[in-house]
Amino acid sequence: MRALAHPTVRTLRRLALRLRQFVPSRDGVAAVEFAMVLPVMVLMYLGMTELTFAVNTDRKITLLSRTLADLTGRATSVNTADMDTIFNAASSVMAPYSSDQAKLMVSSIVVKDTGLKDQNGKAILKGTVCWSTARGPGSPVGLANRSTVTVPDGFQTADSSYILANVEMPYSPVFGASILQTITGQSTKTLSEETPWPVRNVKEVVWQGTTPCLT
């Protein structure tokens, strides 16, 4: 019996020794901490990447809107072929992002005095659409001719005109489409930009074959 007891005692002693060594041991702590932090790090990385894509796309849409307005504002008159060229040329600024889903619209707005004054005695001006044209998926249409728009600050001068460019494009998150779908019920978010722009070389950019709105 004594010979059988010795191995058991030695085994218990070794086990007790290992337990005493285990309590203060720090081996493997870094691996455990890394395993806990890794999912958070991955989420932060994907989130920052997604945010970068979204901000860059939004900036490109702003640049596209400004380019549309600027190119149109430099013309003296336009027709359908001219606007096709302007739309195609302006869309190149979206690179490396695709502009296939972008809805583009350019309008000529004339500003006239209504003959009325506000409570401060300032003339009330009205912006009227002289012509408007649009391009993009779904065959979008421009603003209705002779419809009224709000004249932005900086363009409130009677008997003048300006170009108004509008761009809308759906943005689909690269990594977070399912999250966006869960939160909003939609897998895309519409990014848009509206840009009023001064006419450069003439009083009004006239659509060829039509009567100028400013006389």
pLDDT digits (tens, 9 = 90+) for 96-152: 988 999 999 999 999 999 889 888 888 889 999 999 999 999 989 999 999 999 999
Q: Give the mean model confidence (pLDDT) for residues 151-162.
A: 94
pLDDT beyond 60 at 5 = no
Tens-place pLDDT, residues 39-71: 888 888 888 888 888 899 999 999 999 999 999
pLDDT beyond 90 at 168 = yes
What six digits make up the tokens of 203?
A: 């009083």
Listed residue (107, 70, 73) closest to 203, CA to CA: 73
Tens-place pLDDT, residues 8-39: 667 777 777 766 666 665 666 677 777 888 88
pLDDT beyond 60 at 153 = yes
Burial class (CB in 10 A: 0-12, 13-18, 19+), 204: buried
Burial class (CB in 10 A: 0-12, 13-18, 19+), 195: buried
Distance CA 25, CA 133 (A): 74
Number of Cβ atoms within 10 Å of the Cβ of 126: 17
Burial class (CB in 10 A: 0-12, 13-18, 19+), 4: exposed
Who has greater pLDDT, 72 or 14?
72
Q: Give the mean model confidence (pLDDT) for residues 184-188.
A: 76
